[in-house]
Amino acid sequence: MNETERLLKAKIPCAETGIDIKHTLCDICCPSFHCGIDAYVKDGKVVKIEGTADHPVNHGLLCPKGLSNRQYIYREDRIRTPLRRVGKRGEGKFEPISWDEAYREIASRLNAIKAKHGPESVIFYSGYTKWYRPFLHRFTYSFGSPNFLTESSSCMTSTFLNWWVTTGNPMCSTDVSNAGIFLGWAFNPYYSRHLAALNVEKRKAEGMKVIIVDPRITPASLRLADIHLRPRTGTDGAVALGLAHILIRDGKTDRGYIDKYVYGYDQYAAYVKDFTPQKVEELTGVPAEQLEEAAALIADNLPMAINESAAPLAHHRNGFQNYRAIMALSAILGCFDQPGGQIPIQFSYNYLPAGFSTREDEFIMAHHDRVKAPAVGAKRFPIWNDFIHEGQANDLSRQIETGDPYPIHAMLGFGMNYRISPDDERLKQNLLKLDLLVNTELFLTDTCKFCDIVLPACTSFERSDLKSYGGGYLFCTEPVIQPLGESRSDIQILCELAEAMNLDDELLRQGPDACWRYILQDLPITLEELRAAGKPVKLPGLKPYVPGSMLEKGLNTASGKFELYSLAIEKHPGFDPLPTYTPPFGADRPDNDLPYVLCTSPRISNALHSRLHKVPWNRSLRPEPQADISYEDAQALGIFEGDTIELTSHRGSIQMKAHLTHKAEPGVICCYHGYSEADVNLLTDNDILDPYSGFPSYRETRVAVRRI
């Protein structure tokens, strides 16, 4: 082996090998990170991937998802040309067509549906990835439809809604660096947000105390927790109210802060009187003495930073109010908008807070005045409708079935994946009723197989992207390889489709760069300068937020304060302005035929929904669908490791392998979703939704379990 061959084998970038390093980002998972990637490119193909060492977020680290990007890009089922259905819906039979043909057909059919049934009859849907959402959102309103729907109807938006309702602001960060105690509620970063663990580990080593609240035993509870509270699934709100009871009883609250900055404290304090440690033990299974110990640890180590995980708390019928009950602890202890507590932050671009403002909101809402009809879910979920400029996608099946308040005739989807929805077979059957169904995707998914037209999208390696990061960073990527086949960028597709439809939106029709220049025009940097930099750029002249500023200015709530008693909720009869507790579904009426609780959609480090189950490296880490079951339950059911078991709900049955583990909560079967051969969402229910947020109860489906 000569020197050049050795260099090639080691994939060393140099003139001899012809390998170049180009910088981009990973967008497989949620927008929170989108880690920096060094792509090693030879002859127009990615041959190796590493993390970008000086990236401000991941600092060279990549999780199993990020490391799999090369296999992800070159999956055999990548769509490489526009496709038109030639068989029956669901058969997956298509013919390739040109982009011009695809645009002409989509444009003519959407415009005809709009003329006949009104713009509200068309759904514009975004799944993963989320990078193009400001463009699709604007497109929706320019078309005149209220129905911008997203998978975030089941993901992060309940969290945003909680903060909007309570503080008038969409989000908070956790100031771990200045905290004396960290309260991690369903905090499991080692599987879902591995970078978030680093600062907690560092501060714990410096003496910060840690409480983890999670029904399951997790890496976070084992590595970090001084105290691990294990409430029964869906009873988190009662635990939070019990902690508040003890802190108020023992005089540990910050009355000066409460009097100045908190609204509704007296009503709240009266309500939590009933949540004694003994009562909370009955409701949650958390021992009264352990709850007392946790409250004392909190009181002795303030300030307290709380990290409330979005999905595990929200995916219950009572999730919204449980989340509010946890948030309330930050207010009564004087930790909201204070060093070491919860720091309010605002979005910069595409869900990410970066410490600067853009014109994203103006860009999205420019033509909202064309919207004349209510969005899907507006009547059923009025609190959601008050604050969130999206329809509630979990009400879509009901509206297609009933035509109330108007019929739905078409959907233009980007990354639409019906399998992430509760009772997904019901949604599939309803989508089949539409006159037109279009999806833009990387891969020929099960959803694509019953679409009329499928458009091929690019990965983040094949397109430009604009990304903001915390700490004042902006990153404009350039393609590191050419698009595979005829695939195109999602935002290029939207802008070209706007032109084909003769959409009354001059800015969109000018193309992506014109739109980005508009969004960035108030910043001290140009799009061209960002592109030339090739890496994330820290904007000059930014001043860090000073904790307490928002409180002193007055919060954007009706009272101007942190609202324990929500005046926004008070406007809607039948909804409780206090963070009251309701037992999880079925807890108040046990079902002997369906005695177990099915908890779906916990995170695993190698997968995100179904996106990576066909990537060999990732699939090898968990090759078969599995259900976690406790040793106690397995013994009672005669189940052994690796047995095939059947799970049955009132919706149907699926089969998978049993995995016995002490991590599992007795009485709860925990399943990992996204496997098409064992689709857990065939068991979940689209009717049992949180009345405040419309979120599904993924984690409280009642099931029976038997060995096959």
Q: Where are the domains of the chain?
A: 3-74, 83-156+349-538, 171-345, 596-707
Burial 45-62, CB ≥16 within 10 A → b, else e: ebebbbbbeebbbbeebb
In 541-625, which residue ranges form alpha helices assigned H by DSSP?
A: 549-553, 567-570, 616-621
Distance CA 105, CA 112 (A): 11
The candidate with the shortest Cα–Cα distance to 390, out of 115, 155, 556, is 155
What pLDDT score was predicted for residue 156?
A: 87
Q: Which amino acid is at 391?
A: G
State mean pLDDT over 337-359. Answer: 92
Distance CA 302, CA 659 (A): 40
User: 640: which residues sit within 8 A by CB, 6+ positions away?
Assistant: 634, 658, 660
What the block records as the tokens of 368 is: 């909202």
**590 has pLDDT over 80:** no
The CATH number of domain 83-156+349-538 is 3.40.640.10: no
Question: Pairing state of beta strands 83-85 and 465-469?
Answer: unpaired
CA dist list (Å): 535 to 258, 317, 435, 529, 590:
44, 43, 44, 11, 56
What the block records as the tokens of 358 is: 């853009």
What pLDDT score was predicted for residue 585?
A: 76
What pLDDT score was predicted for residue 641?
A: 97
Distance CA 285, CA 278 (A): 10
pTM of the predicted protein model: 0.95
CA dist list (Å): 475 to 57, 456, 635:
12, 25, 53
State mean pLDDT over 497-526. Answer: 98
Sort 403 into a burial class: Cβ within 10 Å, 0-12 / 13-18 / 19+: exposed
State mean pLDDT over 390-404. Answer: 98
What pLDDT score was predicted for residue 588?
A: 58
- Cβ atoms of 320 and 384 within 8 Å: the answer is no
Distance CA 302, CA 299 (A): 6
State mean pLDDT over 620-649. Answer: 95
What pLDDT score was predicted for residue 608?
A: 76
Q: For domain 596-707, which architecture applies?
A: Beta Barrel (2.40)
What pLDDT score was predicted for residue 384?
A: 98
CA 231 to chain centre: 23
Distance CA 49, CA 93 (A): 35
What the block records as the tokens of 447 is: 């959803």
State mean pLDDT over 440-465. Answer: 97
Q: Where are the beta strands (DSSP E) in 52-116?
A: 83-85, 94-96
Distance CA 54, CA 149 (A): 36
- Cβ atoms of 124 and 412 within 8 Å: the answer is yes
Encode pLDDT of 645-695 as tens digits.
999 999 999 999 999 999 888 999 999 878 889 999 999 999 999 999 999
State mean pLDDT over 588-596. Answer: 78
What the block records as the tokens of 612 is: 């990576």
In 99-195, which residue ranges form alpha helices assigned H by DSSP?
A: 99-117, 133-143, 157-167, 189-192
Task: Find out whether the peptide bond into 129 is cis, omega within 30 degrees of 0.
Answer: yes
Burial 526-549, CB ≥16 within 10 A → b, else e: ebeebeeeeebbebeeeeebebee
In 571-699, which residue ranges form alpha helices assigned H by DSSP?
A: 616-621, 631-637
What pLDDT score was predicted for residue 229?
A: 98
How sure is the predictor about 128, in pLDDT bands with cuts at 50, 70 and 90? confident
CA dist list (Å): 195 to 33, 348, 359:
9, 21, 29
Q: For domain 171-345, which architecture applies?
A: 3-Layer(aba) Sandwich (3.40)
What pLDDT score was predicted for residue 6?
A: 82
- Percentage above 70 pLDDT, the chain: 99
What pLDDT score was predicted for residue 589?
A: 59
**603 has pLDDT over 80:** no
DSSP state of 374: P
State mean pLDDT over 246-257. Answer: 98
Encode pLDDT of 192-241 as tens digits.
777 788 899 999 999 999 999 999 999 999 999 999 999 999 999 999 99
CATH code given to domain 3-74: 3.30.200.210
Element counts in the chain: helices (H) and strands (E): 28, 27
The candidate with the shortest Cα–Cα distance to 102, out of 340, 454, 629, 579, is 454
How sure is the predictor about 586, in pLDDT bands with cuts at 50, 70 and 90? low
Distance CA 402, CA 398 (A): 6
**284 has pLDDT over 90:** yes
Question: Pairing state of beta strands 668-671 and 626-629?
Answer: antiparallel
**571 has pLDDT over 90:** yes
The candidate with the shortest Cα–Cα distance to 36, out of 48, 47, 22, 46, is 22
Encode pLDDT of 2-58 as tens digits.
888 787 777 888 888 999 999 999 998 877 789 999 999 999 999 999 999 999 989
How sure is the predictor about 623, in pLDDT bands with cuts at 50, 70 and 90? confident
What the block records as the tokens of 191 is: 């599987």
Q: How many other C-beta atoms can be found within 10 angstroms of the C-beta atom of residue 325?
A: 29
Average pLDDT over the chain, rounded to an integer: 94
The residue length of the chain stands at 708
Sheet holding 36-42, edge to edge: 20-25, 36-42, 45-51
State mean pLDDT over 272-283. Answer: 98
**477 has pLDDT over 90:** yes
More confident residue, 613 or 237: 237
The candidate with the shortest Cα–Cα distance to 97, out of 461, 451, 455, is 455
CA dist list (Å): 416 to 86, 149, 272, 420, 646:
20, 10, 42, 9, 29
What the block records as the tokens of 511 is: 């193309």
What the block records as the tokens of 323 is: 């989340």
CA 656 to chain centre: 26
Distance CA 53, CA 305 (A): 29
- Hey, which residues does 671 pair with through a beta bridge? 600, 627
